[in-house]
Amino acid sequence: MAKIKFTLNDEIRTVEVEPNEILLDVLRDKLGMKSPKCGCDRGDCGACAVLLNGKSVRSCLVFAIEVEGQEVRTLEGISQPKLTQLQEAFIEFNSFQCGYCAPGVIISATELLEKNPHPNLEEIKEALSGNLCRCTGYTPIFDAILDVTKRRKK
Amino acid sequence: MAVVHEFQYHKPTSLKETLQLLAKQGEKSRLLAGGTDLAVYIKEGLEYPESVIDIKRVPELSKFEVTKDHVYIGANVTFSDILENQKIKNNWQLLWESARSVASVGIRNRATLVGNICSAIPSMDSAPALLCYEAKVHLRNAKGTRQVAIDKWWTAPRKTVRKADEIVLGVSLGKPSDKHAGCYIKLGRYGGEDLAQAGLGLLVTAKHEYRIAWCAVGPIPIRAKKTEKLLDGKALTPALISKAMDLVLSEITPITDIRSSREYRNHICRIMLQRGLEVCNDRLKSKKVDTSRILGG
């Protein structure tokens, strides 16, 4: 066991991990962050996405021990102190059905709008190409993001 | 999913320390940068290293230099780093387009180009660009350094000439001194994230020098020497392109797998060469061409 210290949603956390423990499991089972989900478990589906130093990564492909001293942000952190404009738009557009992909999609879309506040549809599709949603056909997800970019233009 | 296999974790902060670890543990250890391949291999029981050496804190391995005629990409440089570099976007179009086609943002933020060539999967997107820019792989062990030309780097699927006690410091790329244009054309099953069924990199100079390289259609990525020889010194015409297309099947050796059949790959590679040459020709005339939908949506 090794003790690691890192910033999780603006709080400094310390946790004991084995080298073979995956970040996704540690976040969910040891630190109570249930928003990242295990989908494919091999980096293809995007359900486990979290922000590591501001960039989206697949937490199922990161060993927890690697994030010593780094900054991790999950949906729990993004949603504080209140839902973001993007999250409100997802609600308004009924963007999700079962919701399993939602945390990952929100992480990817948040990262996109951070880098590029006014993406076009193609850019949105490219940014979300690593997030699989099997309920919606993606249309209400894209509509919500486009709506946010439109509102921000005003 | 919990990982069953147990290993030791090392986090060296200098190259010297890394090399000492490698000299001691060699074949029993694996180097970890982005981990997008290694984590999957360990999880799925394809690799059982006794130790994992995380190189992300070694400053020398994060070196990333871009000039007009030279690029150096250190072992820790990710595909996102490459994509976000404006000089690469403007002057190294083939490299930029191949980085763009790797998986998705969440993978590119972590996956490194050096990791890509070390994993040596036949469909690796970075290979055609490195072959066309005639890259050199810089290796080091406790005894010294050596360089390997990229066309001598791969020996078989998932195999390279790297020895167990060596680390890849980075790769360096050069390019033709004449005015030239390039492109990367990738066939996936759909527009989003997918491994290549076939990948083609091209560099064409204004003086009609041609560099052509394939990935995913043979055990290792290759330069298409016969096609290059046919085209060299000649301006592109529809008749010449058609002759070049007829050589494609003599250079590639695709297999049938889960992503595509051998016959389909044979067919589509001819089309890819045709469209790729046309794109380079257009770009040489400063015409703007987007290659992302060139094989359909």
Query: DSSP letters along A81-148, please?
Result: SS--HHHHHHHHTT--SS-TTHHHHHHHHHHHHHH-SS--HHHHHHHTTT---SSS-SHHHHHHHHHH
Give every CB contact of residue A89 below 8 A, 6+ residues apart in sequence: A95, A144, A145, A147, A148
* ipTM, two decimals: 0.96
The average pLDDT across A121-131 equals: 95
Query: What are the 10-residue block averages of pLDDT along chain B, 297 residues in total?
Result: 91 97 94 97 95 98 96 98 97 96 96 98 96 98 97 98 97 95 90 84 97 97 98 97 97 93 96 97 94 79
Burial letters for A100-127: b for 16+ Cβ neighbours within 10 Å, e otherwise? Answer: bbbbbbbbbbbbbbeeeeebeeeebebb
**pLDDT interval class at A154 (50, 70, 90):** low
What is the rounded average pLDDT for all residues in chain A?
97
Q: How far apart are CA B234 and CA B245, in angstroms?
A: 15
Give the residue from B30, B62, B193, B258 with the most A CB atoms within 10 Å of its CB, the best one to mutate: B193
* 3-state secondary structure (DSSP) of residue B150: helix
Token pair listed for B190:
């759909």
Domain A2-74 identical in fold to domain A85-153: no
Give every CB contact of residue B86 below 8 A, 6+ residues apart in sequence: none
What are the backbone angles phi and psi of residue A70, rounded to the nearest 5°?
A: -100, 180
In chain B, residues with a C-beta closer than 8 Å to the C-beta of A66 are 32, 35, 54, 56
**Yes or no, beta carbons of A20 and B40 under 8 Å apart:** no
**Yes or no, beta carbons of B192 and A63 under 8 Å apart:** no
What's the CATH number of domain A2-74, 3.40.50.620, 3.40.50.2000, 3.10.20.30, 3.40.50.720? 3.10.20.30
The average pLDDT across A113-138 equals: 95
**A21 vs B: CB within 8 A:** yes
**Yes or no, beta carbons of B54 and A55 under 8 Å apart:** no
Question: Do residues A46 and A104 lie in contact, with contact meaning Cβ atoms separated by under 8 Å?
Answer: yes
Residue boundaries of the structural domains of chain A: 2-74, 85-153
> What's residue A42's pLDDT?
94
CATH number of A85-153: 1.10.150.120
Q: How far apart are CA B216 and CA B124, in angstroms?
A: 7
**Yes or no, beta carbons of B105 and A108 under 8 Å apart:** yes
When CB atoms are compared, the residue of B7, B103, B104 closest to A20 is B7
Which has more confidence, A86 or B197? Answer: A86
**Yes or no, beta carbons of A58 and B7 under 8 Å apart:** no
What pLDDT digit, counting tens, does each position of A30-42 carry?
Answer: 999 999 999 999 9
Q: How far apart are CA A57 and CA B53, in angstroms?
A: 20
